[in-house]
Structure 1
Amino acid sequence: MRPVSTLRTLLATALLVGGTIMATATPANAATCPHTESPKIPAGEAHWTLACRQVEGQTALYIDGWVEDTRRDPWCAAVRITPEGRNYPDEVRACGYGERVQIHKFYQGRSAIVKLASTR
């Protein structure tokens, strides 16, 4: 194999791995309230706040904010919310360059894993 072909292969692999790693932002551990975050990735950005309140003797988690698609491509920017005690996330998506979607979610408990991701 020629050195130029090997270099191209290595660069393509590095870009693929780097692009996969950059597709999501924010840590995978659960955030507890109060908490605010404003992550950015190449395809979008978001801002959210977690707040806890007592509702009828139970702790309630409120997540408010927004997600915006910032790239002209077929991908969407999405905020994925997995509250404590659940195995699957809720998703709020903004699809289309410049679209901003508001986030207003309510869950029982004090924490959730909240991530910004790029999705189709």
Structure 2
Amino acid sequence: MSDSVQPEVRAAAFRALAAMPTIKSVGTVEDVLGRSGEGLRMSSPGLDLSVIIDPVTSQVLASSYRSSNEDKTAYKEGTRTVRVAEWTDELPEVVSRPEPGPAQG
């Protein structure tokens, strides 16, 4: 299937993001797979967001976040790496929820 959003349109959207005062360009960075892209970062009290954009296709390669409570004693963080981004007419495989393990004390 063809991409429904042209790279030029996606690139314009990312340029608009980069122009926002709360979003900073961090230059060329690598994702965990070693792919280079343009890094964007947004920071606000209690939340940091980062995204890596492929400069050729304008597709997202990876994103990450880190949030904290007001006194910075608790954190939640995560990273997503995009290996494939394409349209499909097929539904994804349904993954069963794991059974809860024994309580840890």
TM-score by length of 1: 0.26
Higher RCO, Cα 8 Å, sep 6+ = 1
Q: TM-score, normalised on structure 2?
A: 0.28
Which structure has the highest strand share of the two? 1
